[in-house]
Structure 1
Amino acid sequence: MATRDVSVTRVSPLSAFRVGLAMSLVGLVAWLIAVALLYVGMDAAGIWDQVNSLIGDVGGSQAVSFGLVISFAALLGAISTILTAVLAPLTAVIYNAIVDLFGGLQVRHQEEAE
């Protein structure tokens, strides 16, 4: 097996955007699944009934429902996805500027023989 040192001296902002967007979309799906499972678990424990009873006791008319919880989670997840997609190319530009000053990231590449 041959090894060699490789230096990462430039990251394309467009590539960083595509990878950041893809990873944040996967994270959004995982987030929504986790929120849905947590809601179902808390509903089975009777927590939402107690919360809705408490809201009704203080004079509120809004009840916490699955639709409300998943909508709020989707909104937070969408904001997070957009921020990640916008910040990924900015991070690549900052990395490229730092690499010009101090050098790139050193990676050891190992080739396997077949």
Structure 2
Amino acid sequence: MSDRETTTRVRKRPVPPPTADTAERAGLGQQLKEKLATAVESGRTGESKDVARKGRPVRRARLRLTRIDPWSVMKTAFLLSIALAIVTVVSVFIVWSVLGAAGVWDSINSTVQDIVGGDEALTFDIKDYLGTSRVMGFTIIVSVVDIVLLTAVATLTAFLYNMAAALVGGIDVTLTEDR
């Protein structure tokens, strides 16, 4: 045998020659062709479990998730929580602007003046308590706290998952190729 025949193309490691007690199996492609031929000969009209609609085999991979990198989880959680904070600030601003344009604050002021009455009610303005600047300031503070907390919780969750996976082996995942 030449050196070229005893090495594989991928890793260039020598392949041991087959011995008399080693059974040679057909490749995966050949096995799938045989299964397909058997299914066709037996007259099955439905699809085989291992064959896609167009007669091509479906590739499957069973994987086990044993470790999650906490650093990448922290970076991803940080970016997603920043995006959530931006969405929160913008949505609160839009809601408060719509409520102001709809006249809700003037309606609340007139309702309070009708209920309370007197001179003190004439000076009451709901915007002194729930003005846009106060609400936006509060929303920004809550968003910053959420960024810190969500990042910390996601990173802690990655550490806890890694410890649990070290004990029980992780989560088994089966992936199939959709063609």
Output the TM-score relative to the length of structure 1: 0.82
Aligned residues between the structures? 113
- Aligned position for 1:5: 62
Counterpart Cα distance in 2 of 1:18 and 1:52: 46
Q: Is 1:109 aligned to residue 175 of structure 2?
A: yes
Query: Comparing both chains, which one has the higher relative contact order based on Cα–Cα distances under 8 Å and sequence gaps of 6 or more?
Result: 1
- Aligned position for 2:92: 35
Counterpart Cα distance in 1 of 2:152 and 2:96: 30
- Aligned position for 1:45: 102
Q: How many angstroms does 1:60 deviate by?
A: 7.1
Query: C-alpha deviations, 1:60-84, integer Å up to 9, x for none?
Result: 7871322211111011011011101
Structure 2's unaligned 5+ residue stretches are: 1-57, 113-119
Q: Which runs of 4+ in 1 moved over 6 A?
A: 59-62
Structure 1's unaligned 5+ residue stretches are: none
Q: Which has the higher helix share?
A: 1
Q: Return the match for 2:139 from 73, 76, 85.
A: 73
- Aligned position for 1:16: 73
Name which one, 1 or 2, has greater alpha-carbon Rg. Answer: 2
Output the TM-score relative to the length of structure 2: 0.55
CA RMSD after TM alignment:
2.6
